[in-house]
C-alpha cells in the first residue's frame, strides 16, 4: 500500500509554509547520499525481505499522541476532519485511519486517550516465512524502530523491556495487535519463550543513564547477555547482540576496523559500559565456540533519530533541543573532537541484514562521514533555523555556541571502517546527516508543541 512516494510533511524534508485550511502541503522528496529519492527503507537480501514504504514507517513515529485539540467536547466532531487534518497533516499524510483519536484539552492540560481505531496494515506472511522474534530493550530508541520494521514486515514480535530508559509510548501503537506482545521484564532475570531470532539490545546506552548505577549496567551487560544466550542455546534461535563502538575506547587507530582491539580505561567512569559490552562479546563468542550458538555481533557507532531521549546527554539531542528552545548550544571541549553520526533507519537496515546474513564476525555499523563537534553544532543551528523559517516561527535572537570543559575519558575521535559491512552485507548508509537531522528537528518540534518535552 503505497500512497505518495514521500509522506510530505511527515518528511523532515518538508518545504511547506503552514498554509490556510485545506491547502495542500508542498511536497519535497527525501534524497540519499547519491541524490536518489528514498521512498522505502530496507531490502530483500539473504532470503529475508525487510523493505517497507518510508511514508508508512514515518506515520508511526512522526505522529502526535493526540489528533484532536479542543477545549469543548461539543467541538470534537467538527475538529475531526478539518482542523485535525491541518493540526497534524504533517504526521498523518495518507495514514490518518491508523492513528489514535485521543483528545487533548489545553485549558485543563489533560488528555483523553483512546486505543487505536485500527492498526497499520502489516504483511500477511505464510507461516513458513513468519518468524517469532524477541527484541530485548525493544521499547528503547533503536529497539522501537526495529520493532516497527519487523511488525510491518508481518513477523511475530515480543518486546522485553524494564523501562529503565525505554518508554511504553514508543511501541504503544502496536499493543493489542495479534502479532505483538509487550513484556515488562529485566533481562538480568532468566526468561523463557519460544523464538527464532533474538535481537539483544537491552542496556542503557547514554552516559547519564549507564553511570546512574554502574554496577547495574555491568550486571545487565553480563547477566542479561548470559540469560539471552542461554535462551538462544535452548531454542536454537539466532542471536544478535548490539555491541558498541565504545569497545574501541579512545582509539589510537583511525578509522577503526573490527580487528582493532581497542584502547579502554578499565576503571574510568565509562568502564561499566565499555567493559560490560566487551565482556558481553566475549560471552557471545564463548557460547558460539562451546555450544554452537548461531551468533551475530553488531558494533554500533553514534546513531540519532526520532524517539531519542532529549535529556540523555547525547550531543545530537542536546543541540537540537537547546536550539529549538532558543538556549545557547553547549559544546564540551574546544569543538575539535570528531564524531560520525548515522541515521536510525540505516542502522535498522544494517541490523536486519546482519541478523539474516552468514557473517559471524563482529561488524561495524556506522556512518563514515566525520564532523567536528563545532561544525556539527553550526549545522544543527542552521537546520533548526531553516525549519523555524518554513513554519513561520519568529526567533528573538540567534542562539550562540558556547564552549565548556571536556568530561573525563571522552574520546577525541571515532569513525567506523565499514568495509566489512559493505562486503559481507552489501550495506552502506543512505541517509545524509542533513536529511536525518531535519526529520529529527521536526520530531522534537512536534513533541514540544504537544508539551511532551
Report the C-alpha dihedral over residues 12, 13, 18, 21, rounded to 10 degrees: -80
Q: CA triplet 23, 27, 28: central angle to 5 degrees?
A: 155
Closest CA to 427 of 45, 146, 55, 53: 45
Distance CA(10)–CA(121), nearest Å, equals 18
* C-alpha cell read off for 452: 511532551
Nearest to 317 by CA among 161, 164, 207: 207
User: Which of 88, 125, 60 is closest to 450 using CA atoms?
Assistant: 88
How far is 449 from 414, CA to CA, in rounded Å? 35
Residue 372 buriedness (CB in 10 A; 0-12 / 13-18 / 19+): middle
Active site residue 273: yes
CB 303 within 8 A of CB 367: no
3-state secondary structure of 441: helix
Angle, in degrees to the nearest 10, between helices 54-61 and 141-152: 130
Report how far residue 284's alpha carbon sits from residue 297's, in angstroms, rounded to the nearest whole number. Answer: 8
Instruction: Please give the Cα distance from 156 to 172 (Å, whole number).
Output: 16
Dihedral sign for Cα atoms in the order 421, 423, 425, 426: positive
Count the helix, strand and coil residues of the chain and give each as a percent rounded to the nearest 5: 35, 15, 45
**Separation between Cα atoms, residue 189 and residue 417, nearest integer Å:** 36
Q: Quick check: 236 and 198 in contact, CB under 8 A? A: no
What cell does 55 get? 511514508
At 97, list the grid cell. 485511519
Residue 354 CA to residue 296 CA, distance in Å, equals 7
**Structure-block grid coordinates of residue 7:** 509522506
Please give the sequence-ordered ranges of beta strands (E in DSSP) within 212-333, or none if there are none.
238-244, 295-300, 303-304, 329-332
Q: How far apart are CA 21 and CA 85, in angstroms?
A: 9
Beta bridge partners of 199: 135, 240
Check 98, 199, 248, 273 and give the catalytic one: 273
Q: Which three cell numbers stand for residue 76?
A: 470534537
Residues with a catalytic annotation lie at 273
Amino acid at each position: 500500500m503505497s500512497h505518495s512516494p514521500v509522506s510530505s510533511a511527515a518528511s523532515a524534508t518538508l518545504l511547506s509554509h503552514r498554509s490556510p485550511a485545506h491547502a495542500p502541503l508542498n511536497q519535497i522528496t527525501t534524497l540519499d547520499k547519491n541524490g536518489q529519492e528514498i521512498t522505502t527503507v530496507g531490502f530483500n537480501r539473504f532470503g529475508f525481505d525487510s523493505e517497507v514504504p518510508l511514508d508508512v514507517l514515518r506515520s508511526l513515529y512522526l505522529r502526535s499522541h493526540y489528533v484532536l485539540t479542543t477545549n469543548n467536547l461539543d467541538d470534537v466532531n467538527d475538529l475531526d476532519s478539518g482542523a485535525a487534518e491541518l493540526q497534524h497533516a504533517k504526521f498523518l499524510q495518507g495514514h490518518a485511519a491508523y492513528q489514535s483519536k485521543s483528545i487533548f484539552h489545553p485549558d485543563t492540560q489533560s488528555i483523553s486517550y483512546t486505543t487505536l481505531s485500527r492498526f497499520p496494515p502489516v504483511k500477511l506472511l505464510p507461516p513458513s516465512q513468519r518468524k517469532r522474534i524477541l527484541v530485548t530493550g525493544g521499547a528503547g530508541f533503536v529497539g522501537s524502530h526495529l520493532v516497527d520494521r519487523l511488525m510491518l514486515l508481518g513477523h511475530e514480535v515480543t518486546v522485553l523491556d524494564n523501562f529503565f530508559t525505554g518508554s511504553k509510548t514508543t511501541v504503544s501503537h502496536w499493543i493489542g495487535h495479534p502479532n505483538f506482545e509487550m513484556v515488562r521484564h529485566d533481562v538480568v532475570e532468566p526468561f523463557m519463550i519460544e523464538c527464532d531470532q533474538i535481537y539483544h539490545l537491552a542496556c542503557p546506552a547514554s552516559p547519564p543513564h549507564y553511570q546512574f548505577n554502574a554496577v547495574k549496567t555491568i550486571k545487565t551487560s553480563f547477566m542479561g547477555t548470559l540469560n539471552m544466550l542461554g535462551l538462544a542455546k535452548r531454542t536454537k534461535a539466532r542471536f544478535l547482540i548490539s555491541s558498541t563502538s565504545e569497545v574501541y575506547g579512545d582509539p589510537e587507530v583511525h578509522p577503526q576496523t573490527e580487528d582493532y582491539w581497542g584502547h579502554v580505561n578499565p576503571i574510568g567512569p565509562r568502564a561499566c559500559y565499555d567493559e560490560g559490552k566487551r565482556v558481553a562479546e566475549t560471552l557471545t563468542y564463548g557460547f558460539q565456540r562451546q555450544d554452537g550458538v548461531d551468533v551475530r555481533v553488531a558494533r554500533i557507532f553514534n546513531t540519532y533519530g526520532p524517539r531519542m531521549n532529549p535529556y540523555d546527554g547525547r550531543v545530537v539531542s542536546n543541540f537540537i533541543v537547546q536550539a529549538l528552545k532558543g538556549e545557547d548550544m553547549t559544546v564540551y571541549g574546544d569543538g575539535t573532537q570528531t564524531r560520525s553520526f548515522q541515521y536510525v533507519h540505516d542502522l535498522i537496515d544494517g541490523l536486519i541484514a546482519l541478523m539474516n546474513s552468514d557473517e559471524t564476525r563482529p561488524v561495524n555499523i556506522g556512518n563514515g562521514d566525520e564532523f567536528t563537534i563545532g561544525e556539527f553544532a553550526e549545522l544543527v543551528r542552521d537546520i533548526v533555523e531553516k525549519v523555524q523559517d518554513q513554519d513561520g516561527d519568529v526567533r528573538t535572537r540567534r542562539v550562540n555556541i558556547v564552549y565548556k570543559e571536556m568530561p573525563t575519558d571522552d574520546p577525541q575521535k571515532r569513525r567506523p571502517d565499514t568495509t566489512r559491512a559493505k562486503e559481507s552485507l552489501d550495506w552502506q548508509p543512505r541517509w545524509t546527516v542533513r536529511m536525518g537531522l531535519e526529520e529529527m528537528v521536526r520530531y522534537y518540534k512536534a513533541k514540544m508543541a504537544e508539551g511532551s518535552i
